[in-house]
Structure 1
Amino acid sequence: MIEIKGKYNTAEVFTDEIEKETHKQILEMCNVKELENSTIKIMPDCHAGKGCTIGTTIIMPDDTPINPYFVGVDIGCGVELMKIQGDFTFEQLDEVIRKNIPSGFSVYEKTCDHAEEFVKKLNCFDQLKNKEHLYKSLGTLGGGNHFIEVAENKEKERFLLIHSGSRNLGNQVALIYGAAADKEGFLTGELREKYLQDMRLCQAFAEANRSSIGMEIIFRLGIQGSTECTTVHNYIEMNWDMITLRKGAVSAWPDEKLVIPMNMRDGTILAKGKGNQNWNFSAPHGAGRILSRSQAKKRLDVTEFEKEMTGIFTTCVSKETLDEAPMAYKPMEQIIDHIDDTIEILDILKPIYNFKA
């Protein structure tokens, strides 16, 4: 564990080593007066990010000013885990996804009434741009590290995992409130409350987005599926007289089922929380990057990427997805070695199919 002391706070980092840029970013957070009465705990998958360090958790009094960039632009991003039953080939699944689930910057051709209902409830609705695009984005995957995966547990039961967020909606909401914040980047008073309301709507949109993708796949394949859990990692949780911010971190309350995806090759940790207050009732959301996206594309090669994915059906190994190669992330063992205090590992779900935009 690493302790980083700043002017107003001290952060505990649950790993043995971190990069200089990550250390600098955490120290800057500890120098923020608005967080003077907060508890900062950093998860072992931490790495430098936009707004704040990925892997940040902060428990703070419920009247603490909020910096919308701490949550970030992909509000409510997370992973839905569905247990599935039925016969299909991976070629069929790949075709279903490519034909019916828009990915990257793509959206549907028609608007979705359900999406429109979410968007029109936002306090910042009048400030949103290209609303028709938002209405067409529910049920779309996105790009980057977002994925659709089929994995197996020890008993060879199959699971569908969907990693996606609030799409351009969360991005716009974050930018709108970020521009409205004070010179230190924080929201107070009525503006703060409006942001928290809109953040929760974006979180609900993201959850509906993942569910819509899952239901579309299940319907198109003619199989059965049921949700096991949904694990969210960019949001603020409201509890009693405190609030918990998690940026690239997930909740790990007592016996709470959760998933922690590692990378395209090694799969996903299925676990349950231990409710450890010293960890801010939280756990890491993934493996954490060791190479930035630009570094990965410069240093890694497709041939090595292909070898690492041997035995996993995927049509997505290419120069365009090199930044998501397993080698761009910290080894799974490095994360497992540090998380026993906060979660109990139930299984490792091994990937047998993976799709990334």
Structure 2
Amino acid sequence: MDTPTPVLSWAGHDLAKQETKMAKNVASLPFVFKHVALMPDVHMGKGALVGSVIATKDAVIPAAVGVDIGCGMMAIQTPFRGEKLDGKLKKIRLDLEAQIPVGFEENQEISKAATNWQGWQGFQELHKGVRGLENKAIKQLGSLGGGNHFIEVCIDTEDRVWLMLHSGSRNIGNKLAQCHIDTAKDLAKLADLSLPDRDLAYFVAGTPEFAAYWRDLQWAQQYASRNRELMMSRFMRVIEQHLNGGKKMKPLLTINCHHNYAEREVHFGEEVYVTRKGAVRAQVDDYGIIPGSMGTKSYIVQGKGNAHSFCSCSHGAGRIMSRSMAKNTYTLDDFIAQTSGVECRKDAELLDEIPAAYKQIDRVMANQADLVTVVATLKQVVCIKG
């Protein structure tokens, strides 16, 4: 691409016109460091492409992080074999749906694990626009949310049972992000900044606005991580009831990773702010989770620490079709056929999550062989969508 800062792509194909424009917009910003890295599942986003890794010097772009701050994955490898699931899948799904709120739902009874989270100590320091939402945030801690968030029971190629879920910072993360995105846009307008896209409004390090955003960002990322932990704890209790006579199990491996977030990191010998918008950190030996769509495979990986990707990899399969297009293109019969063998709701509400609306996960994985090593290949047998 003809941009002041290079764009390196692992997509394995030419970007569409609008995708190219979005990548060029980001690469034209003066504070972008070295290059922009695009992961194999890259697709249209807001401001920046989903699947972008953007390293910056002394600035951060709130809309590039996005509104689901800290969205990510958690997975555990259980000691159980697949045969233990025989005849139990539907009951497991129904019990999970009863235990973990999905969509706009929240917990009716608040657990001690939620109220005892240390993050509440700093809540009143967050942006004034969310200070009336503490009770809602407490109730939503340990809930899934909607969209493409999910809970899955999987079996790997060695017949081992895995538990996996995908969620973020819920309403509180969304509201925090919107407050700061609005502030960044207002500042850009006041300064009469010439931006290629209003959604690329940014904060400059050393300013009060930057400090406030960075504080709230870290808080929301911690909330998202804790949200996944609380759901996984309930998930494990359900599985223990069905597969282990109610006795506690000890996970063989636990992974909890963000894929919509920003952190300070050192790359090419310099400290920079790294924004991963739909990308997973893949430093040497980092464990990561790359889910496919409903009815396809997912992968547990370890990073190779590829410097050119800023030690990153893809966060999933990536959409090739909008939700409305998927609903207009496919029928419920198509959805039922494509999710054959998966215990899930089989209704029209989930049609926008049909596997055909996503890229082929095998191709995505082939395009990042230099970024990660596959540790386990999983196939879901139970899927609950938000």
Same fold (TM over 0.5): yes
Out of 277, 290, 296, the residue aligned to residue 326 of structure 2 is 296
Q: What per-residue deviation string (whole Å, max 9, x for no partner) do you get for residues 145-164 of structure 1?
A: 10000111122110000101
Out of 211, 224, 230, the residue aligned to residue 229 of structure 2 is 211
- Report the Cα distance in structure 1 between the residues aligned to 2:40 and 2:300, rounded to whole angstroms: 17
- Report the Cα distance in structure 1 between the residues aligned to 2:61 and 2:340, rounded to whole angstroms: 43
Structure 2 residue matching 1:74: 3-state secondary structure? coil
Out of 10, 34, 53, the residue aligned to residue 57 of structure 1 is 53
Question: Aligned partner of 2:335: which letter?
Answer: F
Contact residue 155 and residue 162 of structure 2 kept, 8 A: yes
Out of 367, 375, 380, the residue aligned to residue 346 of structure 1 is 375
Matched length: 349
Equivalent residue runs for 1:223-242 within 5 Å: 224-226=249-251, 227-240=253-266, 241-242=271-272
Q: Which residue of 1 aligns with 2:197?
A: none
Question: Aligned partner of 2:55: which letter?
Answer: I
Q: Which residue of 2 aligns with 1:94?
A: 93
Structure 1 residue matching 2:291: 3-state secondary structure? strand
108 and 210 in structure 1: CA distance in 2 versus 1, 3 angstrom threshold:
same
Identity of aligned residues (%): 29
Equivalent residue runs for 1:261-272 within 5 Å: 261-272=291-302
Q: Which residue of 2 aligns with 1:76?
A: 70
Q: What per-residue deviation string (whole Å, max 9, x for no partner) do you get for residues 278-337 of structure 1?
A: 1111000011111011111111111011111111221x2321111111000011222122
Identify which of structures 1 and 2 has the higher relative contact order when contacts are C-alpha pairs closer than 8 Å and 6+ apart: 2
Q: What per-residue deviation string (whole Å, max 9, x for no partner) do you get for residues 66-88 of structure 1?
A: 11111001111111011224656
Question: Aligned partner of 2:128: which letter?
Answer: D
Contact residue 270 and residue 347 of structure 1 kept, 8 A: yes
Residue 19 of structure 1 deviates from its aligned partner by: 2.2
Residue 120 of structure 1 deviates from its aligned partner by: 5.0
Residue 351 of structure 1 deviates from its aligned partner by: 1.1
- Report the Cα distance in structure 2 between the residues aligned to 1:27 and 1:126, rounded to whole angstroms: 34
Out of 285, 307, 313, the residue aligned to residue 283 of structure 1 is 313
- Report the Cα distance in structure 2 between the residues aligned to 1:300 and 1:118, rounded to whole angstroms: 43
Structure 2 residue matching 1:258: 3-state secondary structure? strand
Contact residue 27 and residue 35 of structure 2 kept, 8 A: no
- Report the Cα distance in structure 2 between the residues aligned to 1:252 and 1:52, rounded to whole angstroms: 20
Q: Which residue of 1 aligns with 2:128?
A: 126
Equivalent residue runs for 1:1-357 within 5 Å: 4-6=1-3, 8-15=4-11, 16-35=13-32, 37-61=33-57, 64-85=58-79, 89-111=88-110, 114=114, 117-122=118-123, 123-128=125-130, 129-181=132-184, 182-183=187-188, 185-188=201-204, 189-220=207-238, 221=241, 222=246, 224-226=249-251, 227-240=253-266, 241-314=271-344, 316-357=345-386
- Report the Cα distance in structure 2 between the residues aligned to 1:225 and 1:69, rounded to whole angstroms: 39
Contact residue 271 and residue 345 of structure 1 kept, 8 A: yes
TM-score by length of 2: 0.85
Structure 2 unaligned spans of 5+: 194-200
- Report the Cα distance in structure 2 between the residues aligned to 1:100 and 1:51, rounded to whole angstroms: 36
- Report the Cα distance in structure 2 between the residues aligned to 1:279 and 1:5, rounded to whole angstroms: 19
Q: What per-residue deviation string (whole Å, max 9, x for no partner) do you get for residues 116-159 of structure 1?
A: 75255143243214332112000000111100001111221100
Question: Aligned partner of 2:362: which letter?
Answer: E
- Report the Cα distance in structure 2 between the residues aligned to 1:126 and 1:216, rounded to whole angstroms: 32
- Report the Cα distance in structure 1 between the residues aligned to 2:140 and 2:371, rounded to whole angstroms: 35
Contact residue 68 and residue 174 of structure 2 kept, 8 A: yes
Structure 2 residue matching 1:17: 3-state secondary structure? coil
Question: Aligned partner of 1:91: which letter?
Answer: K
Residue 343 of structure 1 deviates from its aligned partner by: 0.8
TM-score by length of 1: 0.92
Residue 346 of structure 1 deviates from its aligned partner by: 2.2
Contact residue 93 and residue 343 of structure 2 kept, 8 A: no
Q: What per-residue deviation string (whole Å, max 9, x for no partner) do you get for residues 250-297 of structure 1?
A: 111011111100111112111111101011110000111110111111
Q: What per-residue deviation string (whole Å, max 9, x for no partner) do you get for residues 156-198 of structure 1?
A: 1100001010101110110111122121511122221221121
